[in-house]
Structure 1
Amino acid sequence: MKKVTKPVFFIVLLVIALFVGVQVTGLTYQYGDIQTTYIKKASDVRWGIDIRGGVDVTFTPSTGVEATEEQMDSATEVIKQRLITLGITDSECYTDYSNSRIIVRFPWQSGETDFDPEAAVKELGETAMLTFREGYEVDETGVFTGATAENVILQGSDVVSASVGVDENNKYIIVLKITDDGKQKFSEATKKCAAEGKSISIWMDETVIANPNVEQQITSNEATITGQFTAEEAKSLADKINSGALPFNLETSSFSTISPTLGLGARDAMLIAGAIAFVFIAVFMIIMYRLPGFVSVIGLAGQVAGMVCAVTGFFGFMNGSTLTVPGIAGIILSVGMGVDANIITAERIKEELRAGKTLDGALRAGFDKGFTAIFDSNITVVFVAIILMGAFGVTDSFFATLLKPVFGFFGTSTEGTVYSLGYTLIAGIILNFVMAVTASRLMLQSLSKFKALRNPVLYGGVKKND
């Protein structure tokens, strides 16, 4: 590692302090009635069913639809994908083939106070069939007829991805990337509509969401949907398009709220206990290990803030993860491993000083020797976390895909509470290397450059003159 100078401590401290601060306050921008979140705060954490409760809903195919097992599986996967786009990982989704039912349980959203089960399930059960149609011919009830009904230009299957954008007037739009086949069809349709002075209407199921005029042929592989969308409406529409359409209409046969097994009172008690434990750990580390202990406390504060960041998603455009009781256990275990990593390093530094090495030599050797033990203990936990996320996560996640040859023959097993444990563990281990290994080393080596802080006693050694 290159020579660390005195200002490095203050730079690292400032970065960690800002990181902790934004997790408390967040960063939002209000423009009229539109609030844009750039950085999420700790209160944006989505709590699991076991802590906050949620919804139990049963979907069935609409009357007259005889759904096959393959169609039921397809509908179940679409619902799971919609839950994922909403940042819900603590969910349960079962398919009852004999009774043609799909049973879904999922938690409340963060910040919800007046919970409406009907509104919560509506978005999941919508067919969400996106179509681009020629012109805008409708009957008195608003249902498309004539050429609009007959000439479907693009469907949801022609769309690769959908994202939210902003046009030159600062209005929210949905940007669609379409397939090569869809690009060809769209090019031909826009050429025809431009020549005939027709519009291309855009529909979600049987509701028109835009009806733009076509002035010229469009040959790119991008299309946009414009309208008077709020940020939430634009994101919701993009999520529906990305999740895909259901193979048939669903009806809600029953729904109810689920009471939490622990409740918010238990959550608050755990948070208070965690804060008290952190204070005791901080005092212990400073008393036992002096300056290395002081530096480790700063690193641990950054690690806790980083764990909150991993759960919320940090940036406004990123989905977070649902935090369950096992997830909280994963955070506690990760912080404990962070404490252990700092203790290992501090003890190694102390041993090197008592063996007669200079302060600079003891710091280098202490961190180098401590890293081997820290790496070995942490990497085994990473393997466990990956297995938990692969075995109990959603079927199309990275780790589930990676481990499919191992767990595929057991069938699908999505268990959000176990996934939450694996997620917080792997996030905690990564932050452990960032904070307990890298940041602590930079700060401690920087502080050792100050003459007043070069006494070996401050690092656990025997007092002597440098």
Structure 2
Amino acid sequence: MLNRFPLWKNILIILVVLFGVIYALPNLYPDEFAIQVSGESSSRELGEADLKRTTEALEQAGIDFFAPEVVDNTIRLRFDSNESQLSARSVVERQMGDEYVVALNLLPSTPDWLKGLGAEPMKLGLDLRGGVHFLMEVDLDKALQTNIEVYQSELKTRFREEKLRYRELDISNPTTIMVRFRDEDTRDEALNFTRREFGTFLAEAVDNGDSFDLKLTVLDSEIRSIEEYAINQNLSTLRNRVNELGVAEPLVQRQGRGRIVVQLPGVQDTALAKRVIGATATLEFRLEAKPDEAAINTQKFDFRSENRSAIVERDVIITGSSVTNANQSFDETGQPQVNIKLDGPGGSKMLRVTRNAVQRRMAVLFVEDKERTNNIERNGEVVQERERYTEKGLISLATIQSPLGNEFRITGLDSPAEASELALLLRSGALAAPMYFVEERTIGPSLGAQNIEAGLKSMLLGFVLVLIFMVAVYRVFGLFANLALLANVFILIAIMSMFSATLTLPGIAGIVLTVGMAVDANVLIYERIREELRKGMPVQAAIHAGYDRAFVSIFDGNITTLIAAVILFAVGTGPIKGFAITLSIGIATSMFTAIMLTRAMTNLVYGGKRLDTIQIGSRKSITPPEVTSAPATGSRS
């Protein structure tokens, strides 16, 4: 029978619509203002005693709060207004002290019964929720310098092992190492050895009077590899550090050749965010200097947490970029230690150095690249200039018990907390190159609320105009299209919520565009039905043909739009990707609702019935023309 769906198809449609309604519901519950309190270091455990201190301070200050809780080693308290939230942060900061970090946040207010079904609201982007935006520049020149210093140290070690005596081994520029030999034979032997063992250099023999030099230039391909690694390593490290803030849906992505964008929705404390992001640093592993070593080959550093110092060699064994994993544990005597795992090249370098350094101590150096403002007098005026400087401090000095390879342990730590902090630092990764803040700005929650209001108004206005147009032009069929349109929005939002997609202002534009596309599909179907009726096709056959024959046009139009959305997602960044994702999901949902759902409603009302006429236009009912025999004409004799 024409225009009747089987039972299973009707049940499937009902289930999909029900899914859309349930999983879109959490988005109707607004986020609540909140503060979250965590330890300055991840090793600090927060419990009920800390929660009690926090709540008592707020009660004494007369600030109302609700739903206090400790979740994932973080204290959370909620407030009715942004003013109470800001006042509470100041009170809690004074009460808890510098050992704790107090951050502003927005927390969902989804009912427990929806949470039990796994229903969560969509994450809001920076333009809708407010937050902080940073643009950071990676010092790629410093990345090259750091790597060539490691090459220099490795060359010294390998030349000593091969008994290739040289006069001097210096870095002449950021990409070239010059090695001077006393005789030509040794230089040529070193040239062959370098070409055989070091594929990262272009090795050339250079004669300068009485010296025989070996010029080692880092290949262009290696330079590009170093730069790419520096960017990717910094991205990974930043993401790990940003996660310490507990921010929902942070954005950390590359921009251009050497810049990284960091966006933290919901965070309004720029100083806090800068402190956490700026905590990124590099690590260096070096041997402690021997008592008889010349001062020119050693450096003295202070411990970061203790009032003592140590003298270490200038040569760097490896940096923290070679660490792939680190975990805190205890040794056989119950003392804290950190278990280290290195990548392949890092493990090879560590083994070569430490097999001749058993019972010596190895230092772990924490290196931070910072900026400070200096007042400089120039032409009789005092001007401020930003100065970049490097700060280094020891965090560990432990004895090497046996040759170290890809896996080893650091002992001699003072406490489990210190071991936990060191493991966290190593595990989260070190920067392959320093970074500096180029731009920073704060987007307030009020601006985010205005964006949401403007976006919702535009979507609601477009939705209402479409509803009026469809009912005015297509009457009952227009009502079917409007109900399907409403279901389409619910299903679209439900899918985005299920996949934890981030909604931005361009994403709202994608939803508005989806509404228009969904209506366009129904217009094609209804006009096709009207055309078939005008041709004289019976009502049921015209409805059936209208849906079937319009499908090809609808499918082609949506596929071309989907291809454009995929291209936008592939080449776009940030908001463009958000628009592309919303549009892609909207295409799939509008195809379902415009074709399957409206046809199900049409079948429910008209299917299986004998119909001589049908109301599918604003002017008059369309009745299939009757076919009658023409009267015979002729002359009588």
Matched, 1:78 2:236: yes
> Within 5 A, what are the aligned runs for 1:36-55?
38-42=117-121, 44-49=122-127, 52-55=130-133
Cα distance, 1:49 vs structure 2: 3.6
CA gap of 1:455–1:295, structure 2 versus 1, over 3 A, is farther
Q: Distance in 2 between matches of 1:119 and 1:136?
A: 36
SS of equivalent residue, structure 1 residue 457: coil
Q: Distance in 2 between matches of 1:38 and 1:120?
A: 37
Which residue is equivalent to 1:269?
Answer: 454
CA gap of 1:132–1:342, structure 2 versus 1, over 3 A, is same
Equivalent residues of 1:132, 1:152 under 8 A apart = yes
Which residue is equivalent to 1:401?
Answer: none
Which residue is equivalent to 2:254?
Answer: 93
Equivalent residues of 1:59, 1:251 under 8 A apart = yes
Q: Distance in 1 between matches of 2:552 and 2:507?
A: 27
Kindly provide the CA deviation profile for residues 216-274 of structure 1, in whole angstroms up to 9, marking residues without a partner as x: xxxxxxxxxxxxxxxxxxxxxxxx98xx7345597776884333797432430231232
SS of equivalent residue, structure 1 residue 458: coil
Equivalent residues of 2:487, 2:593 under 8 A apart = yes
* Residue identity matched to 2:326: T
Cα distance, 1:337 vs structure 2: 0.8
SS of equivalent residue, structure 1 residue 319: coil
Matched, 1:332 2:548: no
Equivalent residues of 2:509, 2:579 under 8 A apart = yes
SS of equivalent residue, structure 1 residue 206: helix
Q: Distance in 2 between matches of 1:8 and 1:418?
A: 36
Question: Residue 319 of structure 1: which of 465, 475, 500 is its match?
Answer: 500
> Within 5 A, what are the aligned runs for 1:110-149?
115=269, 118-119=272-273, 122=276, 130-132=325-327, 135-136=330-331, 144=336, 148-149=337-338
Q: Distance in 2 between matches of 1:204 and 1:20?
A: 46
> Within 5 A, what are the aligned runs for 1:281-300?
281-300=466-485
Matched, 1:385 2:565: yes
* Residue identity matched to 1:309: A
Which residue is equivalent to 2:422?
Answer: 206
Matched, 1:56 2:57: no
Q: Distance in 1 between matches of 2:125 and 2:329?
A: 45
Which residue is equivalent to 1:430?
Answer: 588
Q: Distance in 1 between matches of 2:3 and 2:623?
A: 27
Which residue is equivalent to 1:160?
Answer: none
* Residue identity matched to 1:337: M
Which residue is equivalent to 1:363?
Answer: 543
Which residue is equivalent to 2:39?
Answer: none
Cα distance, 1:124 vs structure 2: 9.1
Q: Distance in 1 between matches of 2:329 and 2:118?
A: 41
> What are structure 1's unaligned runs of at least 5 residues?
158-188, 190-200, 210-239, 393-414
RMSD across aligned C-alpha pairs, in angstroms?
4.9
Which residue is equivalent to 2:198?
Answer: none
CA gap of 1:119–1:350, structure 2 versus 1, over 3 A, is same
> Within 5 A, what are the aligned runs for 1:10-29?
12=13, 15-16=16-17, 19-25=20-26
Question: Residue 443 of structure 1: which of 601, 607, 615 is its match?
Answer: 601
Q: Distance in 2 between matches of 1:288 and 1:265?
A: 34
* Residue identity matched to 1:45: K
User: Please, which moves more after superposition, 266-275 or 421-430?
Assistant: 266-275
Q: Pick the structure with more strand per residue.
A: 2
Equivalent residues of 1:300, 1:338 under 8 A apart = yes
Which residue is equivalent to 1:462?
Answer: 622
Cα distance, 1:122 vs structure 2: 2.8
* Residue identity matched to 1:320: A
Which residue is equivalent to 2:298?
Answer: none
Equivalent residues of 1:78, 1:246 under 8 A apart = no
Equivalent residues of 2:234, 2:432 under 8 A apart = no
Cα distance, 1:72 vs structure 2: 1.9
Q: Distance in 2 between matches of 1:80 and 1:437?
A: 46
CA gap of 1:464–1:418, structure 2 versus 1, over 3 A, is closer
CA gap of 1:48–1:345, structure 2 versus 1, over 3 A, is farther
Kindly provide the CA deviation profile for residues 114-149 of structure 1, in whole angstroms up to 9, marking residues without a partner as x: 55652587379668964246634799xx9x4xxx34
Cα distance, 1:206 vs structure 2: 1.6
Cα distance, 1:20 vs structure 2: 2.6
SS of equivalent residue, structure 2 residue 589: helix
TM-score calculated relative to the size of structure 1: 0.59
User: Please, which moves more after superposition, 70-79 or 250-259?
Assistant: 250-259
* Residue identity matched to 1:275: L
Q: Distance in 1 between matches of 2:118 and 2:448?
A: 27
Which residue is equivalent to 1:245?
Answer: 429
CA gap of 1:156–1:285, structure 2 versus 1, over 3 A, is farther
Which residue is equivalent to 1:234?
Answer: none
Q: Distance in 1 between matches of 2:28 and 2:464?
A: 27
* Residue identity matched to 2:563: F
Q: Distance in 1 between matches of 2:325 and 2:615?
A: 67
CA gap of 1:328–1:297, structure 2 versus 1, over 3 A, is same
Q: Distance in 2 between matches of 1:117 and 1:447?
A: 62
CA gap of 1:76–1:310, structure 2 versus 1, over 3 A, is farther
* Residue identity matched to 2:481: S
Equivalent residues of 2:123, 2:500 under 8 A apart = no
Kindly provide the CA deviation profile for residues 152-177 of structure 1, in whole angstroms up to 9, marking residues without a partner as x: 479999xxxxxxxxxxxxxxxxxxxx
User: Please, which moves more after superposition, 114-123 or 295-304?
Assistant: 114-123
Q: Pick the structure with more helix per residue.
A: 1
Equivalent residues of 2:455, 2:509 under 8 A apart = no
* Residue identity matched to 2:272: E
Which residue is equivalent to 2:529?
Answer: 349
Matched, 1:421 2:637: no
Q: Distance in 2 between matches of 1:288 and 1:420?
A: 34
Q: Distance in 1 between matches of 2:567 and 2:238?
A: 20
Cα distance, 1:339 vs structure 2: 0.8
Q: Distance in 2 between matches of 1:351 and 1:389?
A: 38
> What are structure 2's unaligned runs of at least 5 residues?
30-66, 72-111, 148-226, 282-322, 346-406, 408-416, 627-637
User: Please, which moves more after superposition, 381-390 or 250-259?
Assistant: 250-259
* Residue identity matched to 1:378: N
Larger Rg: 2
Q: Distance in 2 between matches of 1:341 and 1:441?
A: 12
SS of equivalent residue, structure 2 residue 429: coil
CA gap of 1:339–1:124, structure 2 versus 1, over 3 A, is farther
* Residue identity matched to 1:47: G
Cα distance, 1:434 vs structure 2: 1.5
Equivalent residues of 1:129, 1:205 under 8 A apart = no
Q: Distance in 2 between matches of 1:152 and 1:79?
A: 17
Equivalent residues of 1:329, 1:421 under 8 A apart = yes
* Residue identity matched to 1:4: F
SS of equivalent residue, structure 2 residue 515: helix
